[in-house]
Amino acid sequence: MAVKVNLSKRKKVVLDAIEAMGEPFTALQLWRYISKSDAGVSRATVYRILQGLREDGTIKDIVLSHGLHISIRTEEEAYCIMECVDCGRFQMCPDLAATMTASSQNLSMIPGQIAIHIRARCRDRQQGVCQRAIL
């Protein structure tokens, strides 16, 4: 049975989960990860803590056209997230983010925030279905 814990401990549970996941995530993926641990943190609390982390700049988002937020914990102002269309896995593309930063500098622009979302397929895709597990 889940036990209620105080806010700072709940925030630590969320931050530890973000660290352990190690890749960009949606709020639902984060919630599913945390719910496996029976850490006593409700879905509403996870979402509320996430909103606070957005507001204080701890995490950054790419917001897709249909409203889905893909979140990442990064200090970088330029970041690129690649999404597998088969399994929903996200991964960072630091090389592309660096290329976009250099490209904007070549255009005499000082990049503020660069946030790129790319849809792709995992390389290990076989028989029409991605072989990686969904979080």
Interface residues with Zn ion (CB under 5 A) are 84, 86-87, 89, 122, 130, 132
CB contact at 8 A, 81 and 70: yes
Give the shortest CB-25-to-Zn ion separation in angstroms: 15
What SS3 class is residue 103? helix
Give the shortest CB-53-to-Zn ion separation in angstroms: 26
Cβ-based nearer residue to Zn ion, 114 or 130: 130
Give the shortest CB-51-to-Zn ion separation in angstroms: 28
Give the shortest CB-47-to-Zn ion separation in angstroms: 25
3-state helix, strand, coil in the chain (%, to 5): 40, 20, 40
Cβ-based nearer residue to Zn ion, 61 or 86: 86
Cα–Cα distance, 36 to 107 (Å, whole number): 47
What SS3 class is residue 94? helix
Cα–Cα distance, 98 to 2 (Å, whole number): 43
Residue 67 is classified by DSSP as S
Cβ-based nearer residue to Zn ion, 80 or 84: 84
Cβ-based nearer residue to Zn ion, 44 or 133: 133
CB burial of residue 113 (10 Å; 0-12, 13-18, 19+): exposed
